[in-house]
Amino acid sequence: MSDNLIRNIAIVGGGTAGWMTAALLSRVLRLGNTRISLIESPEIGTIGVGEATIPPIRTFNQLLGIDENEFIRKTQATFKLGIEFRDWGRLGHTYLHPFGRYGLTIEQIAFHHHWLRLREAGDETPLRDYSLSGSAAYLGRFTRPVEDPRLILSSLSYAFHFDAGLYAGYLREYAQARGVKRLERKVVEVELRGEDGFIRALKLDDETRVEADLFIDCSGFRGLLIEQALKTGYEDWTHWLPCDRAVAVPCESAGELTPYTRSTARSAGWQWRIPLQHRIGNGYVYCSRFISDEAAAATLLANLDGAVRAEPRFLRFTTGRRKKFWNKNCIALGLASGFMEPLESTSIHLIQSGVMQLAAIFPDRSFDPSDAEEYNRLQIEEFEHIRDFITLHYCATEREDQPLWAYCRHMPIPESLAYRIQLFRSSGRVAFYDKELFVEPNWLSIFIGQQIWPRRHDPLADLPPMEETRRQLLRLKTLIRQTAQAMPTHGGFIAEHCRAGAV
Ligand SMILES: Cc1cc2nc3c(=O)[nH]c(=O)nc-3n(C[C@H](O)[C@H](O)[C@H](O)COP(=O)(O)OP(=O)(O)OC[C@H]3O[C@@H](n4cnc5c(N)ncnc54)[C@H](O)[C@@H]3O)c2cc1C
Helix (H, G, I), strand (E, B) or coil at 50: coil
Quick one: pLDDT band at residue 108, thresholds 50, 70, 90?
confident
CA of 345 to the centre of ligand 1 (A): 14
Q: Which atom of ligand 1 is nearest to the CA of 351?
A: 19
DSSP-derived letter for residue 193 is P
How far apart (Å, rounded) are the C-alpha atoms in residues 112 and 63?
Answer: 34
Residue 76 has pLDDT above 60, yes or no: yes
Share of the chain above pLDDT 90, in %: 93
Res 103: pLDDT: 87
Per-residue pLDDT averaged across 312-332, rounded?
98
pLDDT for position 264: 98
Mutate to test the pocket of ligand 1, among 46, 171, 247 (most ligand atoms within 8 A of CB): 46
% pLDDT > 70, the chain: 99
348 close to ligand 1 (CB < 6 Angstrom)? yes
Residues taking part in catalysis: 80
Question: Which pLDDT tens digit goes with each residue over 77-101?
Answer: 999 999 999 999 999 999 999 999 9
CA triple 409-85-493, angle to 5 deg? 165
* Burial zone of 187 (CB within 10 Å; 0-12 exposed, 13-18 middle, 19+ buried): buried
Is residue 43 helix, strand or coil? coil
Q: For residue 307, how many other CB atoms are within 10 A of its CB?
A: 8
CA-closest candidate to residue 417, choices 451, 379, 391: 391
Looking at ligand 1, which atom is closest to the CA of residue 205? 42
User: pLDDT at position 31, please?
Assistant: 62
**Ligand 1 neighbourhood includes 39 CB (under 6 angstroms):** yes
pLDDT level of residue 248 (50, 70, 90 thresholds): very high
The residues near 50 (Cβ < 8 Å, ≥ 6 apart) are 16, 164, 342, 347, 348
The residue-averaged pLDDT of 184-188 equals 98
Beta-carbon contacts of 467 under 8 Å, excluding residues fewer than 6 positions away, are none
Dist. CA 187–CA 294, nearest whole Å: 34
Q: Quick one: pLDDT band at residue 29, thresholds 50, 70, 90?
A: confident
What integer pLDDT is reported at residue 152 of this predicted model?
93
DSSP string computed for 318-366: --EEES-SEETTEEE-GGGTEE--GGG--HHHHHHHHHHHHHHT---TT
Please compute the mean of the pLDDT values over residues 409-414 and round it to a whole number.
97
Q: What average pLDDT score do residues 130-151 get?
A: 96
* Cβ of 159 below 6 Å from ligand 1: no
Predicted confidence (pLDDT) at residue 18 exceeds the cutoff of 60: yes
Query: What atom in ligand 1 is closest to the CA of residue 317?
Result: 53
Q: Label residue 104 left, alpha or beta by phi (over 0 means left) and psi (-120 to 50 means alpha).
A: beta
For ligand 1, whether the C-beta of 20 sits within 6 Å is: no
Average pLDDT for residues 185-192, to the nearest whole number?
A: 98
Residue 2: pLDDT band by 50, 70, 90 thresholds? low
